[in-house]
Amino acid sequence: MDKFDVLSRYFGYTAFRKGQEEVVDCLLSGGDSLAIMPTGAGKSVCYQVPAIMLSGITIVISPLISLMKDQVNALVQQGIKAAYINRSLTDSQYDRVLKNAAFGAYKIIYVAPERLDSSDFTNLCRKIKISMVAVDEAHCVSQWGQDFRPSYLNVNKFISKLSKRPIIGAFTATATDEVKNDIINILKLNNPKVVTTGFDRPNLFFSVLRPEKKDSKLISLLKGRSDKSGIIYCATRKKVETLCDFLIEKGFSATRYHAGLSNEERIKNQDDFVYDRKTVMVATNAFGMGIDKSNVSYVIHYNMPKNLESYYQESGRAGRDGQEADCILLYGASDVQTCRYFIESAEPNPQLTPEQNEAFKQREEERLKHMIFYCRTSDCLRGYMLKYFGDEAEENCGKCSNCLTKFETVDVTIQAQKILSCIIRTGQKFGAAVISDVLRGKKNEKIKYYELDKQSTFGIMRDAEQTEIRHIIEKLEEQGYIIFVGAGKPIIKVTEMSYPVLKGKAKVKIKKTIKIKSKKKTAEQAADSPLFNILKQIRSEIASKKGVPAFLIFSDASLADMCKKLPVTPEEFLSVNGVGENKLNQYGDRFISAISEYAAKNDVIPDNQNSNKLNKSELGSAYEPWIEKETEKLRFEYELGMSIGKIAKNHGRTRGAIRSRLKKEGLIEE
Ligand code: ADP
Ligand code: ZN
């Protein structure tokens, strides 16, 4: 069996995705590889295909128990012999897995890094043939990353104890140079082939909104998505709790997750979400790593995260199944203060020197700045993010809120001069709120106390809205005329760039929104089809009988493909994205009979031209090209005396469709 056979037979995919084949080839030829691919790109296939083809066992090191269980479940569903070892197993289960492994019962064993220390396990591994070690979430070896796990430092020691050095594959979605070098050095990869696919996730739609009231905006966003699964990230535990309560009160099927909850509650809530018993997960950033739920259709950030790395990782949990998904960030100015506070008050890392800690903090500040600019930019959001990660990007992606918004450039030099001079005259020791109050002539306590009402700039922008002044202040920062200094409530200082503006020698221009076009998703979602719901129902019956999450039976993408292709034979069923032989054997009959029944009842034909599915009432003009191409053949076959079933098969159509065609041609009676 070659790699393509394995891919189609076990995984049901017709082709490798970008980067996958290169990694597979490298590992199969005995070389080490480091694959840097965004979430959802399909890293698992890169080591699972070689694992099946190599002669011995592959050990997969994976950091989170929940992820392991799901991955192993998925493999078993696909007919691949796999097991996992972590502390969720009882002693007797553990012994059984070790015994089975010694007999060669598995091709793939997932282990938690903590296990690499245990002597039972290393003894076993010395006895059996280990062809490959795949290190998932490999960035966990790096102290520079967000998710450093000291136990990852044991990986190399473990490998050196094996009787023969296996092939090593490392996989991550994080790609800063420091992390990349750490992975190569700490795991001692041998001249590895580094495969980077780029960061773009074409199926994600990015938007940044600046609602007056986040709660009501959120409700309106959720209302249009009640049948979809989604995650709402909040900055604090407290916000998670109040927001989750609020959503439940409003009738949404919400649950919550943060590190302050008991272990039981966390597991229960997570399962409710993964198993589709609850559709909305309200969580802090503690939720997500290791949650392998592929049908998350939106990720909303109620608060701005502290850097783009986190944002990319968290928002990237949407659309892992390749379906269209939304990443929405609700930005508010106070988010900036919360982030600055988190950076300032973070405990120093005892493993780093004070200088290193200080450098780390400064880098965090720098990263925050990029996050803020992402929220405020009027350029393409996808482009901003891709460039930040070192990718090339087109100017206009056409698939983010900025690309769908029109902007006009306006000259705000006069306003900028007023703001800058107010900052200077008040001594460069106040924040944006005070400056805007002075400019608007507000006589509040603070202003009276500091006697700011006696300043010459007091009230010189009386007619301006507070939001307008704020907006210009933000743009002045973005363009480098001012900087914010300090944490909590930072003060504004002017930079050298502002002097030419004050002297009238330079102009300040900003982009202003004209109007937002309504968003239209590019791909029609099969999810609107009644058949999709029928298939979903069957899937959920099977899943609950087996006690596994629904997406392990079939992903939404597979169901959508069924709605498109309407497979009624086993061969046709195999052509569905994500259907391999094992799934065909296990579930083929049930799905095929439901599809045949639906197709016959509604007289639908498969969508071969990638257009929307057609049914009787819609045949009309879409019917014509079909006739042109095929009528002659169809007539010929019918006149030869071929059965309708046979003709249907020849044309890849349902019988109903052929019958209605023949009727239309006047060959058979109504
Ligand atoms: P990652 O680990 O990179 O986040 P996964 O390995 O979980 O991504 O894969 C993401 C999704 O893409 C899964 O639903 C998987 O089944 C699907 N997938 C992976 N490779 C392919 C492929 N070659 N063709 C179609 N779908 C694929
Ligand atoms: Zn864009």
- Homologous superfamily of domain range 204-400: P-loop containing nucleotide triphosphate hydrolases (3.40.50.300)
In the chain, how many H helices and how many E strands?
28, 17
The minimum-distance atom of ligand 1 relative to the CA of 14 is 24
**Which numbered ligand comes closest to the C-alpha of 381?**
2
Nearest CA to ligand 1 atom 23: 16
For the CA of 14, the nearest ligand:
1
Q: What is the pLDDT of residue 152?
A: 92
φ and ψ at residue 428, rounded to 5 degrees: 55, 40
The ranges of the chain annotated as CATH 3.40.50.300 are: 3-196, 204-400
Ligand 2 center from residue 513 Cα (angstroms): 15
Segment 35-74, tens digit of pLDDT? 999 877 899 999 999 999 999 999 999 987 767 888 898 8
Res 514: pLDDT: 63
Contact 306, 371 (CB under 8 A): yes
Partner residues linked to 84 by β-bridges? 110
Q: State the greatest distance between any 2 C-alpha atoms of the chain, in Å, as a whole number.
A: 100
Q: Give CATH 1.10.150.80 domain extents, the chain.
A: 526-664
Report how far residue 181's alpha carbon sits from residue 189's, in angstroms, rounded to the nearest whole number: 10
What is the DSSP annotation of 21-73? HHHHHHHHTT--EEEE--TTS-HHHHHHHHHHHSSSEEEEE-S-HHHHHHHHH
For the chain, give the number of residues: 670
Report the nearest-CA residue for atom 26 of ligand 1: 13
**Does the structure show a pLDDT above 50 at 130?**
yes
What homologous superfamily does CATH list for 3-196? Answer: P-loop containing nucleotide triphosphate hydrolases (3.40.50.300)
Is the C-beta atom of 42 inside 6 A of ligand 1? yes
Q: Which ligand 1 atom minimizes the distance to the CA of 37?
A: 3
The protein residue with its alpha carbon nearest to ligand 1, atom 19, reads: 42
**For position 630, what pLDDT does the model report?**
67
- Using one digit for the tens of pLDDT, what is the confidence trace for 244-266? 999 999 999 999 999 999 999 99
| pLDDT, the chain, mean | 87
Using a 6 Å cutoff on CB, does residue 317 contact ligand 1? no
pLDDT digits over 181-230, tens only? 999 999 999 999 999 988 899 899 999 999 889 999 999 999 889 889 99
Average pLDDT over residues 449-461: 93
**Per-residue pLDDT tens digits for 563-595:** 888 898 888 899 898 999 999 999 999 999 999
The beta strands (E) that lie in 419-498 are given as 482-485, 491-494
**Of residues 465 and 284, which shows the higher confidence score?**
284
Q: What is the pLDDT of residue 604?
A: 73
Interior CA angle at 247 toward 203 and 218, to 5°?
A: 45
CA 206 / ligand 2 centre spacing (Å) = 8
Instruction: Measure 18 CA to ligand 1 centroid, in angstroms.
Output: 11
Domain with CATH 1.10.10.10 in the chain: 406-516
292 Cα nearest atom in ligand 1 = 7
* CATH number of this structure's domain 526-664: 1.10.150.80
The pLDDT value given to residue 654? 78
Cross-strand partners of 209: 330
**406-516 CATH:** 1.10.10.10
Best mutation site among 45, 64, 321 for ligand 1 pocket (most ligand atoms within 8 Å of CB): 45
**C-alpha 402 to ligand 2 mean position (Å):** 6
- Pick from 16, 17, 34, 293 the residue to mutate for probing ligand 1's pocket: most ligand atoms within 8 Å of its CB: 17
Q: What is the CA(529)–ligand 1 centre distance, in A?
A: 24
**Residue for token pair 């009276």:** 448
Is residue 584 lining ligand 1, measured as CB closer than 6 Å? no
Q: In this predicted structure, what is the pLDDT of residue 487?
A: 66
Instruction: Tell me the pLDDT tens digit for each residue of 485-537.
Output: 876 678 999 999 999 999 999 999 987 766 444 333 433 456 667 899 899 99
